Chain A
């Protein structure tokens, strides 16, 4: 009986030791970071749904990298004996992933809203520029390269509008940046050119006033040619009586510098001869006294400075003539009107009638605002 009791006691002690040891071992087994990893996965997925991979890419990919590292670390730990596993690093990395993914989500949502607003403004702004280009430069001679840049800009703007309407803001932003560069630079260059041309406006204004006053004082006709608006304005007694459309030389901007430059001169001239029938191939013509003293002085200075070759010729035979009405600048520098209008001009003008040719009768601000 004593032996049996002793055996039973030994069994009980061993069992107690085993239970304690098992309890001890179980208590040191690390809890797997399931919830942390599920949270990290959920937040990462949410961030992608919020397009953080596009609009907050740095944070999103940081979050993803932390998640991947957590996963690799988890796998490494799982390869160890169960009692030696430690998931602290996994939990830490999963936490970082959650933090970055939430930031990425928030940034993306805010960024998308901001970008949408910015893009909307930019699209409106660029459409305004296109409207301005159409308004101001329709009849202004732009270089073919400038026209191509405007065209490419308009097309990229269309592409960006399509992307914007689809909610592809990142893509729209890239297109609009290109469009902006093309359109803004084209507009700025063209505007700078036009602005520089209109620096002559105070001079033109003086010529116009003199011409109108002369018409008033002499109670006679005077002609003003507005190159920018392509108009021939006829004054009688200081009052505008007729207004006709005009066609000019292809390179009408600026002064005529040299023979053959297809430019229409600017200055105060007079009619010195009248041609009709077999004397002109342009139905009827009024020959002007181009070059006047200012034209000659400018030409001589250009030759002297070397900006024109020594054998350059100043040119002549600048006329107001018929056979116009083609709607395109086609003359060698003359001013063309229709034959019907030429009949009237031919009848009312005489040798000595003033003809003043200016870039514009209006200032640049008026042209931009009209």
Chain B
């Protein structure tokens, strides 16, 4: 009798153990998916694209492992749950990293926008001082056209910045800055050659 009771208890324990390990970890999957969605909402795909791709790969591997367990007669989702916990933590880390990188890009874009605006303003003041020497007029006309294009480009970049598209703004303003600085250099060289104070 005593043996039968023990056997019964062992059977119940075994069923309980098997059922606890054999249940698909839907809650954990949902929570990890939510963490990945949060990373995407933090624009991790824009600011830390490599990390975000690794995160997606990790999740795909975990989901494949989960399905592999589901295919078995005796299922064990224990390791899948552990992987989901790790992936969830990775997603949170990626979200944090994306935020940090975004702030860095925002600051860089803001600084470069201000620098570029200053150089463009200086160019605007220097162009009228240029000597209208041989072939000067057409060159000045082209410089003015360049300045107008630069101005429009900085306005575009500013618009992107205000919309929160800091990476796009940074890429745009980098080109504008390069061009504005080279134009500034060109103007100053001409003025220095002509011994005109600026």
- Residues of A that sit less than 8 Å from B by CB: 29, 32, 34, 37-38, 41, 44-45, 48-49, 71, 74-75, 77-78, 82, 85, 87, 137-142, 144, 147-148, 150-152, 154-155, 158-159, 162-163, 230, 245, 326-329
Contact = CB atoms under 8 A, between A and B. Distances in A.
20 contacts: A32-B68, A32-B71, A37-B67, A49-B53, A71-B67, A78-B67, A137-B138, A138-B142, A140-B138, A147-B141, A147-B142, A147-B145, A150-B145, A154-B146, A155-B150, A158-B178, A159-B175, A162-B171, A162-B175, A327-B132
Contacts of B138: 137-142
A152 B150 CA distance: 9
B71 A328 contact: no
A138 B135 contact: yes
Contacts of B150: 155
Contacts of B67: 32, 37, 71, 74-75, 78
Contacts of B31: none
A139 B140 CA distance: 10
Contacts of B60: 41, 44-45
A17 B179 CA distance: 87
B175 A48 contact: no
B61 interface: yes
Contacts of A147: 141-142, 144-145
B136 interface: yes
A234 to B, nearest CB: 18
Contact of A37 (B64, B144, B149, B171): B64
Contacts of B172: 159
Given A32-B68, A37-B64, A155-B150, A162 B174 contact: yes
B188 interface: no
> What is the interface of chain A mostly: helix, strand, loop, or mixed?
helix
A151 B71 contact: no
B70 interface: yes
B61 A41 contact: yes
B71 A148 contact: no
A68 B124 CA distance: 56
B134 interface: yes
B137 A162 contact: no
Nearest to B150: A155
Interface in B130-158: 131-139, 141-142, 144-146, 148-150, 153
Interface of B: 53, 57, 60-61, 63-64, 67-68, 70-73, 131-139, 141-142, 144-146, 148-150, 153, 171-172, 174-176, 178-179
A267 B132 CA distance: 28
A356 to B, nearest CB: 22
B173 to A, nearest CB: 10
A138 B139 contact: yes
A329 B174 CA distance: 36
Nearest to B63: A71
3 A-B pairs with least C-beta separation: A32-B71, A327-B132, A147-B145
Contacts of B53: 45, 48-49
Nearest to B146: A151
Nearest to A87: B71
Contacts of B135: 138-139, 230, 327
Nearest to A148: B145
A327 B133 contact: yes
Nearest to A67: B60
A41 B64 contact: yes
Nearest to A82: B73
A136 to B, nearest CB: 11
Given A162-B174, A327-B134, A328-B132, A151 B145 contact: yes
A71 B136 CA distance: 69
Nearest to B57: A45
Nearest to B132: A327
A286 B174 CA distance: 54
B132 A163 contact: no
A49 B139 CA distance: 47
B161 to A, nearest CB: 16
A38 B67 CA distance: 11
Contacts of B171: 159, 162-163
A253 B174 CA distance: 39
Contact of A34 (B64, B141, B146): B64
B108 to A, nearest CB: 14
A38 B60 CA distance: 9
A353 to B, nearest CB: 26
A141 B63 CA distance: 67
Given A34-B68, A141-B138, A158-B178, 18 more contacts: A32-B67, A32-B68, A38-B61, A38-B64, A45-B53, A45-B60, A49-B53, A74-B67, A74-B71, A147-B142, A155-B175, A155-B179, A159-B172, A326-B132, A327-B131, A327-B132, A327-B135, A327-B136
